[in-house]
Amino acid sequence: MMVKDLFWNGKTWKALIQEVLWFRDEESKEPNAVVVYEVKNGGSKLPFHDFYIVTYKYGPKEYVYGVGRFPLDALEDAERNWDRQINEYGCYGTGGECTNPFREAIKALEKMEKLKEKEESNNILLNY
């Protein structure tokens, strides 16, 4: 977790930034990953609500691709932005089909949520 000072309207505010999700394609030879960060207001009266930022980590560099109110919203925004970039500039160094790492991360997140729901329903049954 990281605390950042933000300056707005002549005052200093605190925002908490925390990595909450990390998706990596295990089949890839590259150490690339999709990372989701949560930006929290930190109890201050900042002029924004908590939100999520999605980045694509490529080696030592990290690029922001999406922002949203919830992790899925931010991932969907990143997915659209990646597709726009591919449509505009094409694929670099892939030698063929372009894959969208955010689409894969969305599938992984949905799978995690289904497993969580299944686990919660099993726990409810155990309580009876």
User: For 20-60, how does the pLDDT look when each residue is reduced to its tens digit (9 = 90+)?
Assistant: 988 987 666 667 899 999 998 866 667 778 899 999 998 88
Instruction: Tell me the pLDDT band of 118, cut-offs 50, 70 and 90.
Output: confident
Residue-level pLDDT at 79? 96
Judged against a pLDDT cut of 80, whether residue 64 lies above it is answered with yes
Residue-level pLDDT at 62? 92
Report phi then psi at 82, rounded to 5.
-65, -45
Judged against a pLDDT cut of 90, whether residue 1 lies above it is answered with no
Judged against a pLDDT cut of 60, whether residue 68 lies above it is answered with yes
- Residue 14: C-alpha distances to residues 46, 47, 64, 69, 70 (Å): 8, 12, 21, 19, 20
Exposure string of 59-71, with b = 16+ CB inside 10 Å and e = fewer, is: eeeeeebbebeeb
Of 11 and 102, which is predicted with more confidence? Answer: 102
Instruction: Tell me the pLDDT band of 89, cut-offs 50, 70 and 90.
Output: confident
